[in-house]
Amino acid sequence: MTPLLDVRNITKSYGARLGCKDVNFTLWPGEVMGVVGESGSGKSTLLGCLAGQLAPDAGEVIFDTRAEGPRDTLLMAEAERRMLARTDWAFVHQNARDGLRMGVSAGGNVGERLMAVGARNYGDIRTRAADWLDRVDIAADRMDDRPGTFSGGMQQRLQIARNLVTGPRLVFMDEPTGGLDVSVQARLLDLMRGLVRQMGLSAVIVTHDLAVVRLLADRLMVMKDGHVVESGLTDQVLDDPQHGYTQLLVSSVLQV
């Protein structure tokens, strides 16, 4: 089996300030990896570099493409990388407004992604959009409403539908449950777990919420000051942390 994503020595600086340095990992099909660390640890920079939104200073991001097998996405032409981002990748933003078109209806938000990969039949697009809205628990009678009229949790579920309708293989998530009520978070977590399993998705989830990674991620990477300080099986890293920073992080979580 070939890893879906093979990341080697990713380094990114902003002038004199370090974003992330020498990050290495492999992600296998169906695997979910969590990246945790506090604000400024470099986890969002890393995600941006992986998803083609930021240009790293050094390193390789080798993705197992459907047509040609493993290829370094950083060496691809911009047009090719954008096509990959539409067909094979998905990016779920913390703020649903960054991932949605607020002036377009919910159905349009989902249908637009289908059209971007070549769907043209209106009836077919609408049927598939309706199917996906149903899968993320958005009532059929809200299909023609704009996302601005939705609650935060609904917007986030709509963003997930918009991202997954094209059947991507790799999903990047940046704080997907950030800013949501805990009850809404739980529903979203359950939805994401189900979709990951049903679709055999691989995912990289950046968050500062250790409870989220415990429930969603198979593996965990802990970042501090741009460096990966520890990685391993999620429950092992959380229950038997080896690095001083991880020990501090785990022992700082408030118990409820």
Partner 1 sequence: MTLQPMIALSDVSKSFTLHNQGGAVIPVMAGAALKVRPGECVALVGASGAGKSTLMRMIQGNYLADGGRIVVGSVDVARADPREIIALRREVLGHVSQFLRVVPRVPTLDVVAEPLITLGAAPDAAHARARTLLARLNIPENLWSLSPTTFSGGEQQRVNIARGFVHDYPALLLDEPTASLDPTNREEVLTLIEEAKARGAAILGIFHDADARARVCDREVDVGRFTPIAP
Give the binding site for partner 1 (CB under 8 A). Answer: 28, 31, 183, 186-187, 189-190, 193, 197, 214-215, 218-219, 232-233, 235-236, 239-240, 242-244, 247-248, 251
Q: Which CB atom, from 39 or from 183, has the smaller least distance to partner 1?
A: 183
Q: Which CB atom, from 155 or from 234, has the smaller least distance to partner 1?
A: 234
State in angstroms the smallest separation of the CB of 100 from partner 1: 25
User: Residue 9 and residue 149: Cα distance in Å, rounded?
Assistant: 43
State in angstroms the smallest separation of the CB of 224 from partner 1: 13
Q: Where are the alpha helices (DSSP H) in 92-217?
A: 96-99, 106-116, 122-135, 152-164, 182-199, 210-216
User: Residue 4 and residue 221: Cα distance in Å, rounded?
Assistant: 17
State in angstroms the smallest separation of the CB of 244 from partner 1: 3
Q: Which CB atom, from 80 or from 239, has the smaller least distance to partner 1?
A: 239
**Order of strands, sheet of 58-65, starting from the edge strand that comes earlier in the sequence:** 17-27, 5-14, 58-65, 69-72
State in angstroms the smallest separation of the CB of 245 from partner 1: 8
Q: Which CB atom, from 52 or from 176, has the smaller least distance to partner 1?
A: 176
Q: What is residue 146's three-state secondary structure? A: coil
89 within 8 A of 66, measured Cβ to Cβ: no
User: Residue 94 and residue 188: Cα distance in Å, rounded?
Assistant: 13
Q: Which CB atom, from 146 or from 187, has the smaller least distance to partner 1?
A: 187
State in angstroms the smallest separation of the CB of 140 from partner 1: 22
Q: Which CB atom, from 152 or from 232, has the smaller least distance to partner 1?
A: 232
Q: Which CB atom, from 114 or from 170, has the smaller least distance to partner 1?
A: 170
State in angstroms the smallest separation of the CB of 94 from partner 1: 20
Residues constituting the chain: 256
Angle (CA) 33-216-137 rounded to 5° is: 125
SS (H, E, C) 17-74: EEEEEEEEEEECCCCEEEEECCCCCCHHHHHHHHCCCCCCCEEEEEEEECCCEEEEHH
| Phi/psi at 177 (5° precision) | -110, 5
State in angstroms the smallest separation of the CB of 177 from partner 1: 12
